[in-house]
Amino acid sequence: DTAVSQTPKYLVTQMGNDKSIKCEQNLGHDTMYWYKQDSKKFLKIMFSYNNKELIINETVPNRFSPKSPDKAHLNLHINSLELGDSAVYFCASSLGTDSPLHFGNGTRLTVT
Amino acid sequence: EDKVVQSPLSLVVHEGDTVTLNCSYEVTNFRSLLWYKQEKKAPTFLFMLTSSGIEKKSGRLSSILDKKELFSILNITATQTGDSAVYLCTRSGTSYGKLTFGQGTILTVHP
């Protein structure tokens, strides 16, 4: 199936650990994103990559580091996890600036 | 930061009712307004609106944009239990793919 897929679906870890979330899209899109959805359901952009180049980097702690090995992949690595990092993280992709985003199913991160 | 405000925050109706969801936004660097439906997982795309006054329809759902008054509405007629979801309004500006989302409207449709 054509889709945006991210792994893992659930991630439970302790404070201070380092973890990664992987994202892959097979839609042929040139732009990929990471969004964070907090407990109040607000979706906020974290990063955006176009053709492997970082183009949006919102005010996210530098413990968060995205990596795009190719156009179809955008991974998110988080160092020294904190309680406040608990949220659902969505990967998304789009074709160009004005196309709708296609979202993955999210990764629910719980930091204890 | 560009704001998107949705109302109501939650809505409970019975099957067969018609609902109207509202979204207002700030005008700075506006390019388009989009509606998404979020059930348990990924938000799924419904509509993208760029021009004022042109209604977009998909089955029982329709949406329209008013660029003068800076708002959009999403209508759902003859609601079904499967319409129960969070409906997200978002706008795009000039930053590449940077969508500003509203807080969503939680729609619950009872049988």
DSSP class per residue in B51-77: STT--EEETTEEEEEETTTTEEEEEE-
So what's the pLDDT on residue A85? 95
> Which is more confident, B100 or B93?
B100
Q: What does the pLDDT average to over B70-95?
A: 92
Q: What's the pLDDT tens digit per position in A29-67?
A: 999 999 999 887 789 999 988 888 888 878 789 999 999
Do residue B97 and residue A90 have CB atoms under 8 angstroms apart? no
CB pairs under 8 A between A and B: 59
Among residues 52-91 of chain A, which lie with CB inside 8 Å of chain B?
A: 55-56, 90
So what's the pLDDT on residue B94? 66
CA distance B56 to chain A (A): 15
Q: Report the mean per-residue pLDDT for chain B.
A: 92
Structure tokens at B98: 């940077």
Q: Rg of chain A's alpha carbons, rounded to an integer?
A: 13
Do residue B48 and residue A43 have CB atoms under 8 angstroms apart? no
Amino acid identity, position B38: Q
- Chain B residues within 8 A of A103 when measuring between CB atoms: 42-44
Closest-CA residue to B96 (of A82, A75, A92)? A92
DSSP class per residue in B7-53: E-SEEEEETT--EEEEEEE--TT--EEEEEEESSSSEEEEEEE-STT
> Which is more confident, A91 or B3?
A91
Q: With left for phi above 0 and alpha for psi between -120 and 50, is residue B59 left, alpha or beta?
A: left
Q: Report the chain A residue with the minimal C-alpha distance to residue B39.
A: A105
Cα separation, B9 vs A103, in Å, equals: 23
> Which is more confident, B53 or B8?
B8
